[in-house]
């Protein structure tokens, strides 16, 4: 399986964009007409969940996921994925995940979910002894 580390990949894409004379402007839009009034010929929509309000897209639903991040371990060069849990190593840490909460928009960590993620991964690796 090929891994892409978003912090590394996105920084490289942004650098290529800037080398090609692209420019990034962060703006807030209250209406679609404000987007349409831009003089740029190409606009990259990065509104995320904000697109629901901006464009009146009621079909857009948040899905909250939670990660626990372990310290980086360069010797870990493999991933683990089960029906409910996953582990991906990156340079900046090992990501442990396994939650998908449809319709949840809070940003606060869920301590119970964190406990399930950590305990589930512990059971996986304890089974490998």
Say yes or no: 38 and 67 in one domain: no
Say yes or no: 76 and 117 in one domain: yes
| Residue appearing with tokens 């679609």 | 32
Residue 44 pLDDT:
85
In a domain, 10, yes or no: yes
In a domain, 73, yes or no: yes
Residues sharing a CB contact under 8 Å with residue 114, sequence separation 6 or more, in sequence order = 66, 68
In a domain, 1, yes or no: no
Residue 95 pLDDT:
96
In a domain, 12, yes or no: yes
Could you tell me the residue range of the domain that residue 68 belongs to? 63-126
pTM: predicted TM-score of the whole model, two decimal places: 0.77
71-123: pLDDT as tens digits: 999 999 999 999 899 999 999 999 999 999 999 999 899 999 999 999 999 99
Say yes or no: 122 and 86 in one domain: yes
Q: What are the start-end ranges of the E strands in the chain? A: 63-64, 67-70, 80-81, 86-90, 93-97, 101-102
86, 120 in Cβ contact below 8 A?
A: no
Say yes or no: 40 and 23 in one domain: yes
Q: Bridge partners of 96?
A: 68, 87
């Amino acid at each position: 399986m090929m891994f892409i580390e978003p912090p590394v990949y996105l920084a490289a894409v942004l650098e290529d964009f800037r080398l090609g004379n692209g420019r990034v402007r962060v703006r807030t839009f209250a209406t679609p007409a404000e987007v349409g009034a831009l003089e740029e010929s190409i606009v990259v929509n990065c509104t995320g969940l904000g697109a629901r309000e901006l464009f009146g897209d009621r079909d857009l639903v948040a899905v909250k996921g939670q990660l626990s991040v372990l310290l980086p371990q360069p010797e870990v060069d493999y991933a683990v994925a089960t029906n409910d849990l996953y582990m991906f190593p990156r340079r900046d840490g090992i990501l442990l995940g396994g939650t998908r909460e449809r319709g949840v928009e809070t940003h606060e960590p869920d301590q119970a979910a964190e406990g399930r993620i950590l305990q589930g991964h512990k059971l996986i690796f304890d089974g490998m002894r």
